[in-house]
Amino acid sequence: MSRWSAGLAWLVLGLGTAQAADYATPAETLRARLAEAGLESSFDPASAAQLVAEAEAAYREVQGPLEQAAPVEAQAVSGALAQARAAAQAGDETRLAQARGAAWTALLRGPGKPRKAQLKAGTRQPPVTGLPCASSARPAA
């Protein structure tokens, strides 16, 4: 499983299926546009800047809920996108890659915070894991 697909799986686990569907697509769009911008930045800074603008537009779709659930992470994403914009305009592939990593990491950290808080407070039950299946059942003696 790649890092980004593992990240999307965490989004589903952190938010729940309905919220994750609303969050995962813009989050993946942000990641993909920033990755594409990194490829373009050395050759065509204007195209890279346009891709960063598309990543920012995707982030705006989830910015409000993320700011409510995890304001520190939301601020980190906004800061990383500002760095990405400046790096794309300057044609700086390295700074753009750093900004992409910071934005994606903050996006992945954010959604799990409310669920973790609920688990710590005891207001949410942890997921059921390790259920026995037919092949692992022991016969009665």
pTM for this model (two decimals): 0.69
C-alpha dihedral (77, 78, 80, 84), degrees to nearest 10: 130
85, 52 contact by CB (below 8 A): yes
Whether the pLDDT of residue 18 is over 50: the answer is no
Q: What is the residue type of 127? A: P
Highest mean pLDDT pick, 15-29, 97-111, 120-134: 97-111
For residue 130, what is the DSSP state?
-
Average pLDDT of the segment spanning 27-38: 95
Please tell me the predicted confidence (pLDDT) of residue 119.
Answer: 62
Please tell me the predicted confidence (pLDDT) of residue 122.
Answer: 66
Please tell me the predicted confidence (pLDDT) of residue 75.
Answer: 96
C-alpha pair distances (Å), 29 with each of 5, 37, 58: 13, 12, 6
